[in-house]
């Protein structure tokens, strides 16, 4: 099978399982993250191995870029005293390893957009206020599914 298919299966699979945990328990178990790290690193290695036209510097930039959304969320988690979930950042690190910088950036942006839209609707309907906690992973999953369909 094509490497791209394995990337999609891996990322959508871990996002779907994490969505259940994030909605139900408001946390993502560490063992689920650990289970996603090895396939993520294998897919990262395979993807970098296939990009024959890239220079070493290009491969290094792609590798660094794929982790930026996850590192950004981890930094936000520390700066906001965990009001932003650390599991969200770790999950984006794994998705970054599986999918690369471009897809991960789009998934992150779609997730932020969809969650913001949902939050605005809840506030308008008076079902939530600014203190209401919303799980982020379901919106990451929706963002990934949008990219899958496109």
Whether residue 149 contacts residue 20, with contact meaning beta carbons closer than 8 Å, is answered with no
Give the model's pLDDT for residue 49.
76
Instruction: Quote the CA–CA distance of 85 and 22 in Å, as a whole number.
Output: 10
For residues 29 and 85, is the Cβ–Cβ distance under 8 A? no
Q: Parse the chain into domains and list their residue ranges.
A: 3-149
pLDDT of residue 113: 98
Q: What is the reported pLDDT for 150? A: 87
What is the pLDDT at residue 51? 66
**The two three-digit tokens of residue 140, written as one number:** 């990451």
- How far is C-alpha 45 from the chain's CA centre? 18
Q: What is the predicted pLDDT for the residue at 6?
A: 87
Q: What tens-digit pLDDT sequence spans the chain (150 residues)?
A: 688 888 899 999 999 999 999 999 999 998 999 999 888 888 888 887 776 656 777 777 878 888 999 999 999 999 998 888 899 999 999 999 999 889 999 999 999 999 999 999 999 999 998 888 999 999 999 999 999 998
Select from 88, 33, 100 the least CA-distant residue to 61: 100
pTM: 0.90
């Amino acid at each position: 099978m094509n490497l791209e298919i394995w990337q999609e299966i891996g990322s959508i699979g871990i996002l779907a399982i994490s969505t259940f945990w994030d909605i139900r328990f408001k946390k993502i178990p560490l063992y689920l993250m650990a289970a996603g790290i090895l396939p993520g690193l294998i897919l990262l290695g395979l993807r970098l191995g296939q990009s024959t036209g890239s220079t070493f510097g290009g491969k290094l930039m792609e590798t660094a870029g794929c982790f930026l959304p996850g590192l950004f969320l981890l930094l936000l988690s520390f700066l906001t005293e965990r009001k932003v979930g650390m599991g969200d950042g770790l999950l984006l690190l794994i998705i970054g390893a599986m999918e690369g910088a471009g897809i991960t950036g789009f998934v992150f942006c779609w997730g932020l957009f969809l969650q913001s839209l949902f939050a605005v609707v809840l506030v308008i309907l008076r079902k939530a206020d600014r203190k209401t906690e919303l799980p982020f992973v379901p919106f990451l999953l929706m963002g990934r599914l949008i990219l899958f369909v496109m």
